[in-house]
Structure 1
Amino acid sequence: MYPGAHAALTPDKPAFILVESGETLTYQQLEDRSARLAQVLFAAGLRPGDTVAMLAHNSPLYYEVYWAAMRSGLYMTPVNAQLSSTEIAYIVNDCDAKAFVVAADFAAVIAEVLPLIQVRLLLASGGAIDGFDDLEEALAAAPEGPLDHEPRGREMVYSSGTTGLPKGVQAPLPPYLASEGSDPLLGVFGPIFGWDSDSIYLNPAPLYHGAPLRFGGMIHSVGGTVVSLRKFDAETALQTIERYAVTHSQWVPTMFVRLLKLPAEVRAKYDLSSHRVAVHAAAPCAVEVKAGIIEWWGPILFEYYSSTEAIGITFTDSATWAAHPGTVGKAGLGILHICDDEGNELDAFEDGIVYFERDVMPFAYHNAPDKTRAAQHPANENWSSVGDIGHVDDEGFLFLTDRVSFMIIAGGVNIYPQEVENALALHDAVFDIAVIGVPDAEMGQRVHGVVQLEPDHAASPELERELIEFLRARIAHYKVPRRIDFWDTLPRNAMGKMLKREVLATYIKRTVAE
């Protein structure tokens, strides 16, 4: 179902709550405002297959635009709120946006974006932006009620761009009306996580990323409530679980690390008894980190491995993970294949490129057929990969190692930074860690560590030696960085993914300057 069905039954029920401000969007308001916005978009000439882009921080606006697109046969492209003006313009132009909805607190950056884009309809929410029409005035002037014809739309989310320019992930539009069907992934995720109209779902992550946006849409499809943080804070997240009796939540591993580093008295302060299912994904989670959360919260953790491209999905619950520590589960959508660089399938326990086989290729990169082909298996076009490395055991459980693009080759030996980062993540002095391969005349590359320290620790040669010895006691010595630099900050996107190319570029720039 979509919001209109729930508005008819529970009009005053909250569909979305923004924690920090208390802003609440009821199902009736979501139905009315998304229907009116659909009318505005249609009057501006947008038709099924066109794109509406938006730029905002987490707020009710997100789902007003989302559901306007989902009930109009449009693609909805959220733009990363952390991007520069040129990066924003790139996405708006690349997605061929016919409409662009922007929150007024982005007025300064949009002044730089506007000369770089050509968009038919520009709408500003929450205040004035030069060159934009006022969203509230446009909604007030629009006809009440839904469009006569409401084909289902889709998200077109841009990949995070951790290894290059972001790519628009475009799946075919569904062949049914908005009132007849929901996100096809709901049939996969819903039964596993137990979503229903009583679900209260905590979103601590930015809605411009695929999983938070889609999960919120799926919660609306079953009539639940999305409770969202504007920005992640570990203690605020715990406070929110207690305050709103949260039943379901989704996290990334870096959030778990921040939660585990809270003082014991803070961790014990909040009532988490309503919390039945905690889902995590987006990056490999260190065994020690996940075990610590399960010990604290109980066996309520579910992990899935997928991607913005939704090429396939694996699942594991807490009990299964405990029996296979480190696994991301077995395939729940698609058939797993592990292949070498030439596309040959590998045996169990051999690391290779992770492919999923589907009946059809589930996506294409918008305006980038060469990148779409590069994601496909050399001989099987319905097998696709996002470049992750891993292996399956003899029972078919998948274990991720790292990304192809992050692998370090030192003296002909493959080293995966994720293993090193996981080993160091819970050291008391370490707030964040990036491991990169830097140029080396003898070995080709060498392993190098960059650490952001906790506020109560200071950089020193003694601490560097302590961290190196900490690693040598836990992993093979050839994987341990020879040197560790201490930086004030490390670049992660808001979903917790380390921007390795930025770390390497900064390292090289600093090295040359020295």
Structure 2
Amino acid sequence: MNETAHVDSFAKDNLPPREQWPTLVFELPELQYPPRVNCAVELLDKMVENGFADKPAVCNRTVAWTYRALLENANRIAAVLQDDMKLVPGNRVLLRGANHPMLAAAILGVWKAGCIAVPTMPLLRAKELSVIIDKAQVGAALCASELKEEMALAREQSPVLRQVMYYGGTQGALEQAMASKSGVFRSVDTSAEDVCLIGFTSGTTGRPKGTMHFHRDILAVCDCFPRSTLQSSADDVFIGTPPLAFTFGLGGLLLFPLRVGASTILLEKLTPETLMQAIQEFRPTVCFTAPTFYRQMAPLASKYDINSLKKTVSAGEALPTATRDAWQRATGISMIDGIGATEMLHIFISAAGDAVRPGATGKPIPGYRACILDDDSRPAGPGVVGRLAVMGPTGCRYLADPRQADYVHDGWNLTGDAFEMDADGYFWYRARTDDMIISAGYNIAGPEVEDALLKHEAVAECAVIGVPDDERGQIVKAFVVLKPGIEPGDATTKQLQEFVKQSIAPYKYPRAIEYRDSLPRTETGKLQRFKLREQAT
């Protein structure tokens, strides 16, 4: 490893041993990075130097920053982290906020200061935040003022979080601190293999896994999918729904546009209707969102002027052929489908234009390889359904987690998806290979929802699975055994649903609840979720 710039060695100390890393492949000439690189410098400073200073970079309805303005704001935030908060390279910084230019500047500022960004979903509750804070030993946070309540509760639960600075609203302490900074900052000279991002994803048990990514990884995903498949350029304007806390959103709505000198529209709390309105208003050329949104947007297309759109990217869950067809009929746009993973940082299988084969996700994008492993963990030929295995310039490195050995096998990344490859090398999604529920692009761990339900005084037992749904791909369904004396019915269902919404992120609540007298178990007492899945299909 190149000499680290990190004074705080926590990340390096908690990387998995090198022998447990996946094989990394850097076959493309554009993936040859120098041993020392700071990704924020590449995405901002160098773009300003190369003539993009006055080009629009990020905006919403109240803020419009050029590349120069975004650079200066990121520099001011980096100076606040270094001078006011006394952070040193390698410290972790929790980031809390809806999609907004300030959140974009905060992420970039963290990287410029040589610190490690830990973005979190705005909907997470204090309990979920505290798990992330403790796991990553996060000592500082930058948080949007409207999310102060849960942030304050998380801070109470996690003493390791010593300082929080809020931005926005009437409590904009971060903006006040930034006002005293010059807008010039000497970015930390980081190693290409210094960790700069810890993205958390829930596993099948609900225990979150921290995925560790280097400065080099940030650039690598920018130089693969957007270059070869999306073919984005400086003339593009990006828009979409995924939060910057998702690597899907971080790439599609911030990293990819900055890498080519394009512009991005960062809006929060979008619905299918308001996204269509925003497309009409801002005239974007590229849209990133989940199949659920495209399904709901297709019948609205005739009501809005969206002819600026040239490319639409779908990821986060499997894209049904019916959704792809409905979108193309309504808009004339051929959908770009893709599969990625938080562990891999972004999309690694996709297809666009004439290369699209409806129903298939696509082929490995340039820079990545993929194969199907059979039951004996050997590469299988066409027509075999097995575990998807991927290899490329990015790969899984979990933060101090024994599950690293489950994800990496003989150098391959095992994504947890079952796929089939056809004779032409196209990959076709078949199912998840674990208990993860993917609903409207959100990853939801069934056992985490079970844990929340079991805390309600009326629940004796429960099991949670994902069941097919036309609108959301899957929905969370709970099978509940009530305690004696509790009557099932609509009132009980609503009570349980509201209880879950208050204890974990609201999007995880069970949209369907079925009451049972008992649940299927083995002789040793283990819950047999597969029987519930069989009964639900």
Q: TM-score higher than 0.5 here?
A: yes
Structure 1 residue runs of 4 or more that deviate by more than 4 Å after TM superposition: 160-163, 435-439, 496-499
**Corresponding residue for 2:221?**
185
Which residue of structure 2 aligns with residue 511 of structure 1? 516
Match of 1:403 in 2: 432
- Residue matched to 2:35: none
Greater shift after overlay, 398-407 or 223-232? 398-407
**Which of residues 285, 306, 310 in structure 2 aligns to 1:276?**
310
Q: Which residue of 1 aligns with 2:294?
A: 256
Aligned to 1:389: 418
TM-fit CA distance, 1:120 = 4.3
**Contact 2:315-2:338 within 8 A present in 1 as well:** yes
Confirm or deny that 1:230 pairs with 2:262.
Answer: no
Matches within 5 A, 1:74-223: 74-117=115-158, 118-127=160-169, 134-147=173-186, 149-151=188-190, 154-160=196-202, 164-174=206-216, 183-191=219-227, 192-215=229-252, 216-223=254-261
> Does residue 372 of structure 2 align to residue 367 of structure 1?
no
CA distance in structure 1 between the aligned counterparts of 2:203 and 2:436, rounded to whole angstroms: 17
- Aligned residues of 1:15 and 1:225 also touching (Cα < 8 A): yes
Task: Give the superposition deviation at 1:7.
Answer: 4.2
- Assess if the C-alpha contact under 8 Å between 1:125 and 1:136 holds in 2: yes
* Structure 1 pair 306–11 and aligned structure 2 pair: CA distance change class (3 A): same
The alignment partner of 1:156 has SS state of: strand
Kindly indicate whether the alpha-carbon contact (under 8 Å) linking 1:389 and 1:400 is maintained by their aligned counterparts in 2.
yes
Q: Sequence identity of aligned pairs in percent?
A: 20
Q: Structure 1 residue 57 and structure 2 residue 98: aligned? A: yes
Q: What amino acid sits opposite 1:159 in the alignment?
A: T
2:277 aligned partner, one-letter code: Q
Contact kept? 1:183, 1:218, Cα under 8 Å = no
Distance 1:137 1:436 in 2: 46
| 367, 370, 379: which one aligns with 1:336 | 370
Please give the per-residue CA displacement for 1:46-81, whole angstroms capped at 9, x wherever unaligned.
Answer: 333332111111211211111112323322111111
**Secondary structure of the corresponding residue to residue 415 of structure 2:** coil
Offset of 1:155 from its aligned partner?
Answer: 2.6
Per-residue deviation at 1:150?
4.1
Q: Specify the alignment match of 1:73 in structure 2.
A: 114
Match of 2:355 in 1: 320
**What amino acid sits opposite 2:315 in the alignment?**
A
In structure 2, distance between residues paired with 1:438 and 1:391: 31
Tell me how far 1:209 sits from its aligned partner.
0.9
SS in 2 for 1:283: coil
| Superimposed CA distance per residue, residues 355-386 of structure 1 (whole angstroms, 9 cap, x where no aligned partner) | 11347x72311121x11111112xx1x11112
Contact 2:58–2:65 under 8 Å retained in 1 = yes
Query: Structure 2: 5+ residue runs without aligned partners?
Result: 1-41, 438-464, 481-489, 491-495, 520-537
Cα distance between partner residues in 2 of 1:103 and 1:344: 48
- Residue 83 and residue 293 in structure 1: after superposition, are their counterparts in 2 closer, same or farther (change >3 A)? same
Matched residue SS, 2:338 = strand
Contact 2:317–2:473 (8 Å) recurs in 1: no
SS at match of 2:354: helix
Q: Distance in 1 between matches of 2:355 and 2:406?
A: 34
Structure 1 alignment gaps of length 5 or more = 176-181, 409-416, 440-458, 460-486
Tell me, in whole angstroms, the C-alpha distance in 2 between the residues paired with 1:314 and 1:393: 14
Deviates more, 1:324-333 or 1:392-401: 324-333
Question: In 1, are the aligned partners of 2:204 and 2:435 still within 8 Å (CA)?
Answer: no
Q: TM-score, normalised by structure 1?
A: 0.74
Are the aligned partners of 2:197 and 2:214 in contact in 1 as well (CA < 8 Å)?
no
Q: Aligned partner of 1:268: which letter? A: S
Q: What whole-Å deviation, never above 9, does each CA across 1:216-264 have from its counterpart, x for those lacking one?
A: 122122221111221221122222222222111111111112113x4xx
Q: Residue 385 of structure 1: SS of its match in structure 2?
A: strand
Answer whether contact 2:57 2:263 (CA < 8 A) is retained: yes
Q: Match for residue 310 of structure 1?
A: 344
Kindly provide the CA deviation profile for residues 204-223 of structure 1, in whole angstroms up to 9, marking residues without a partner as x: 22221111112212212222
| TM-aligned CA deviation for residue 10 of structure 1 | 4.6
CA distance in 2, matches of 1:145, 1:399: 49
Report how many aligned residue pairs link the two structures.
Answer: 426
Q: Counterparts of 1:235 and 1:288 in 2: how far apart (Å)?
A: 20
**Partner secondary structure for residue 293 of structure 1:** helix
After superposition, the Cα gap between the structure-2 partners of 1:315 and 1:136, relative to the gap in structure 1 and judged at 3 Å, is same
Shift of 1:23: 2.7
Structure 1 residues 353, 503: closer, same or farther in 2, change over 3 A?
Answer: farther
Partner SS for 1:147: coil
Equivalent residues of 1:203, 1:226 under 8 A apart: no
CA contact (8 A) 2:73 2:183 kept: no
Deviation of the 1:107 alpha carbon: 1.9
Q: 1:274 to 1:114 in 2, by over 3 A?
A: same
The change in CA–CA distance for 1:209 and 1:162 in structure 2 (over 3 A counts) is farther
Is 2:117–2:196's contact at 8 Å kept on the other side of the alignment? yes
Q: State how far apart, in whole Å, the 1-side matches of 2:215 and 2:45 are.
A: 20
Look up the equivalent residue of 1:385 and give its one-letter code: L
Contact persistence 1:196–1:222 (CA under 8 A): yes
Taking the TM superposition and a 5 Å limit, the aligned residue runs for 1:417-496 are: 421=468, 425=470, 434=475
Asked if structure 2 preserves the Cα contact closer than 8 Å seen for 1:425 and 1:432, the reply is yes
Within 2, Cα distance between the matches of 1:273 and 1:162?
41
Report if the CA contact (8 A) 2:360-2:427 is conserved: yes
CA distance in 1, matches of 2:205, 2:422: 29
> Which string of whole-angstrom CA distances, capped at 9 and with x for unpartnered residues, describes residues 82-112 of structure 1?
1111111111222222321011111222221
SS at match of 1:185: helix
Secondary structure, counterpart of 1:271 in structure 2: coil
- Look up the SS of the partner of 1:396 in the other structure: coil
